[in-house]
Amino acid sequence: MNFERDTPLGVLRDESDRGDGLYVEDGIYADVFARRRIPWKGIALAVVLLIAGAISILFGIIFLYTDFTADRHGFALLVLGFLMFVPGAYHTVIAYKAFMGRPGFTFSALPEV
């Protein structure tokens, strides 16, 4: 992809200069990140998984160490909590870093719900 960075707004030399991250309007490219769609439902799901997983881990630890008759329930809550916490934390971190504009992180890495 060849475009001139020194010209105002990066005027394209020809139509072959279009790339995946650019859209063309009247021969001028603009970055898609200026018009990025934020997947709010996916971010909300990630935060819900993160919080529910943390609560399940907490209750699993409490059940394991306080009530001897609920050992199986405590272990089940720990496993369920980790299964929810890990993907929730992963996607929440990606969303946060994409929102802050860190290089290498985009909202396209998040699932569309």
**DSSP-derived secondary structure for 77-88:** HHHHHHHHHHHH
Instruction: Express as a percent the part of the chain with pLDDT over 70.
Output: 64
Q: What is the mean pLDDT of residues 85-109?
A: 93
Which tens digit of pLDDT belongs to each residue from 5-45?
A: 444 444 444 455 444 455 555 555 555 444 568 899 999 99
Q: Calculate the average pLDDT of the chain.
A: 77
Report the distance separating Cα 30 and Cα 51, nearest Å: 38
Q: What pLDDT sits at residue 3?
A: 46
Q: What is the pTM of this model?
A: 0.66
DSSP 6: S
